[in-house]
Structure 1
Amino acid sequence: MPTPDRSPRPGSRAALGAYGERVAVRALTDAGLTVLDRNWRCRDGELDLVARDGDALVFCEVKTRTGSGFGSPAEAVTPVKRRRLRALASAWLAAHDHHAPDLRFDVVGIVVPATGRPQVTHLRNAF
């Protein structure tokens, strides 16, 4: 289990998302990935994280929740969101000089309980 970011518990939705992304970056780097880009934006939306894992470029969606009342964080990545992420990945590739034989879409789900450490789930090749 990766060592979590020790930031104070987030209060707002934006703070929760930012906290989750910091936890996700730490989990990915602890797993050996190199983060190339964070919160990359274009007119069509935003990619949370872009990383390299060996020969693969990884486009990673981060979902953070405080509980499972609305399902697991990964369940929030709907088919519509998946299509948007694929389009955003194409835009990112067109804007950057990074080449890789493999492309992958991962989801990192973070559950931040009221007490204790965040629970991190890294779904490789999520879609």
Structure 2
Amino acid sequence: MAAKDELGRRGEDVAAAALTAAGYLILDRNWRCPQGEIDIVAVDGDETVFVEVKTRSSLAFGHPLEAITARKLARLRRLAAAWCEAHPGNHDRIRIDAVAIIAPAVGQPQVEHLRRVF
């Protein structure tokens, strides 16, 4: 596994643990369809939450959330609709969140969770 993939997997693990600790129920991780991939799908209260996770080892190339563009958010909306279609049920209330992870090689990762980014 490439170092970048390993860092991304570590970030998603940290994000899933942080969301679980905050009371979210994780429904899906790395859900794929022809349009792309959703990092985490969770439930928070009565909302289905689609979470984009961005991980960096440092801020040398900018904050992780800077990588979430308007184009990426539009894609996440399409992916959320595809997930809801593939998983029938009550998904009347949905939202898209972003979790930024700064995970240095040594030390604890920093987690920043933004709700309703779109």
TM-score normalised according to structure 2 size: 0.95
Match of 2:47 in 1: 56
Query: Any unmatched runs of 5+ in structure 1?
Result: 1-9
Q: Does 1:15 align with 2:6?
A: yes
Q: Count matched residues.
A: 118
- Residue type of the partner of 1:122? H
CA distance in 2, matches of 1:87, 1:26: 26
Q: Tell me the CA shift for residue 71 of structure 1.
A: 1.6
Per chain length, whose mean CA-contact separation is higher, i.e. which structure has more relative contact order (CA < 8 Å, sep 6+)?
Answer: 2
CA-atom RMSD, angstroms? 1.4
CA distance in 2, matches of 1:102, 1:42: 21
Percent identity of paired positions between Structure 1 and Structure 2: 53
Q: Tell me the CA shift for residue 11 of structure 1.
A: 6.8
> 1:57-108, CA deviations, whole angstroms, 9 ceiling, x for partnerless residues?
0000000001112221111110110010000001001000231332110001
Name which of 22, 37, 43 aligns with 2:28. Answer: 37
Q: Tell me the CA shift for residue 113 of structure 1.
A: 1.8
- Residue type of the partner of 1:82? L
TM-score normalised according to structure 1 size: 0.88
